[in-house]
Amino acid sequence: MNSRRPDDAPILQIEDLSVSFSTATGQVKAAENVCFKLYKGETLALVGETGCGKSVVASSIMQLLPNNAHIQGRAIYAGRDLLSLSEKEMSRIRGSEIAIVFQNPSLALNPIMRVSEQIAEMLQVRKGYPAAQSLELAGEMLHRLGLQGDDKMRMYPFQFSGGMNQRVMIAASMILSPRIIIADEPSKGLDGALAAEVMAEMARIKNQVGASLLLITHDLNLARNISDRMAVMYCGEIMEIGESEEIFSLPRHPYTAALLRCLPERGFQPIPGPSPSMIKPPAGCKFHPRCPNISEVCRRKPKMTRVEGRGTAPAGSESEIREVKCWRY
């Protein structure tokens, strides 16, 4: 899985990203001081519960947020800050260098265009390929994702199930061989076995083209299966980041531990207390009202702290290091 060398520079670096939205009921703090690095060829999973701000992070990298969003921080890609690029510059990057797979495929596809044409269109517009050739390539891509046959090529999105449309979206995002793929809940709407299959195929194509994948999901097992590293988000903040296997076997942050205990194989133990408000988040550590190891100091904001990992990564590489936002470390 991990082909990254310790001296590799990150392909995408998110620094202190904060996003808030002005709404009638107040300022919604959707992301706060989010920092992470995405390396070449790796898969980084951004996991957390619905509404914790994962998708907001993805959309802000692509400059796809609505006008009422206030964005601070930087997203460095190829030496440039994506957040300060003009729309014209950004549109050149979208799709061909950084592609995004959205979570609602039925809404993201054009309802009156055949699926194969929607994929081929990418090649015609961006690369100037002739129609016949791009259709052929589109067909190949669909075939690899398990949608073979001429009849499938000629279908419209409404004739496909949600899962099939999701695969069309994935094909469209990968056809231009982007350097970074952002997948926002790509397994949503696919049932168990199919989700695993589609994700495995996605990981395989990603490795073939040497792209990096930022996987946004609430499915912890999916994240574990295909990601190298994992960042756990809660209420707009990254609470813990490190190697996926290590986080699973030894969660350091109390929230990560609580989240993992909700898993079926760990007995469906719910996290006590309600989810926090994003408008008036708890002061200090945002998890402290629900945390089993609360102490006085938790009312103040903890910093991201590096803890020694015991990972499988080569010594000295950055992934060996686990970062946790908790006063216990």
Q: Please count the residues of this chain forming the interface with another protein, following the rule CB under 8 A.
A: 23
Integer-rounded Cα Rg, in Å, for the chain is: 20
The verdict on 203 binding another protein (CB under 8 A) reads no
**C-alpha 310 chain-centroid distance:** 25
- φ, ψ (nearest 5 deg) of residue 244: -55, -50
Tell me whether residue 38 or residue 215 sits nearer to another protein (CB atom): 215
Mask for 51-70, x = binds another protein (CB under 8 A) = x-------------------
Instruction: Compute the distance between CA of residue 106 and CA of residue 274 in angstroms, rounded to an integer.
Output: 32
Looking at 7, 9, 50, 67, which residue binds another protein (CB under 8 A)?
Answer: 50
Residue 79 or 264 having the CB closest to another protein: 264
Q: Minimum distance from CB of 187 to another protein (Å)?
A: 12
* One-letter-per-residue 3-state SS of 56-120: HHHHHHCCCCCCCEEEEEEEEECCEEHHHCCHHHHHHHECCCEEEECCCHHHHCCCCCCHHHHHH
Contacts with 144 (C-beta within 8 Å, 6 or more apart), sequence order:
171, 201, 205
Give the shortest CB-192-to-another protein separation in angstroms.
6
Regarding 49 and contact with another protein (CB under 8 A), the answer is yes
Q: Alpha-carbon distance 76 to 126, whole Å?
A: 23
Residue 209 binds another protein, judged by CB under 8 A: no
User: How near is the Cβ of 163 to another protein at its closest, in Å?
Assistant: 8
Which residues have CB under 8 Å from 300's CB, separation 6+?
Answer: 284, 285, 327
Nearest Cα residue to 14 out of 229, 238, 227, 217: 238
Is the CB of 263 or the CB of 294 nearer to another protein? 263
Which residues ranging from 136 to 175 are in contact with another protein (CB under 8 A)?
Answer: none
- CB nearer to another protein: give 223 or 298: 223
Residues 297-316 contacting another protein, CB under 8 A: none
Give 38 or 56: the residue with its C-beta nearer to another protein: 56
Question: At closest approach, how far in Å is the CB of 259 from another protein?
Answer: 6
Which of these segments, 72-80, 146-154, 189-197, 306-314, binds another protein (CB under 8 A)?
Answer: 189-197
CB 15 within 8 A of CB 76: yes
The residue among 4 and 290 lying less far from another protein, judged by its C-beta, is 290
d(C-alpha 38, C-alpha 55), whole Å: 16
Q: Which is nearer to another protein, 164 or 175 (CB)?
A: 164
Q: Could you tell me the smallest distance in angstroms from the CB atom of residue 146 to another protein? A: 15
Considering only residues 259 through 288, tell me which ones interact with another protein, judged by CB under 8 A. 259, 261-265, 267-271, 274-275
Q: Is the dihedral of CA 171, 172, 176, 181 positive or negative?
A: negative
Question: Between 131-144 and 162-174, two packed helices, what is the crossing angle to 10 degrees?
Answer: 120
DSSP 141-180: HHHHTT--SHHHHT--GGGS-HHHHHHHHHHHHHTT--SE
Run of H or E residues at 249: helix 244-249
Q: Which residue's CB is nearer to another protein, number 90 or number 257?
A: 257
Find the binder of another protein among 170, 220, 232, 247 (CB under 8 A): 220
**Choices 151-159, 172-180, 190-198, 278-286; region in contact with another protein by CB under 8 A:** 190-198
Residue of 191, 292, 308, 315 that binds another protein (CB under 8 A): 191
Cβ contact 245:72 at 8 Å:
no
Q: Which residues bind to another protein, rule: CB under 8 A?
A: 49-51, 191-193, 218-220, 258-259, 261-265, 267-271, 274-275
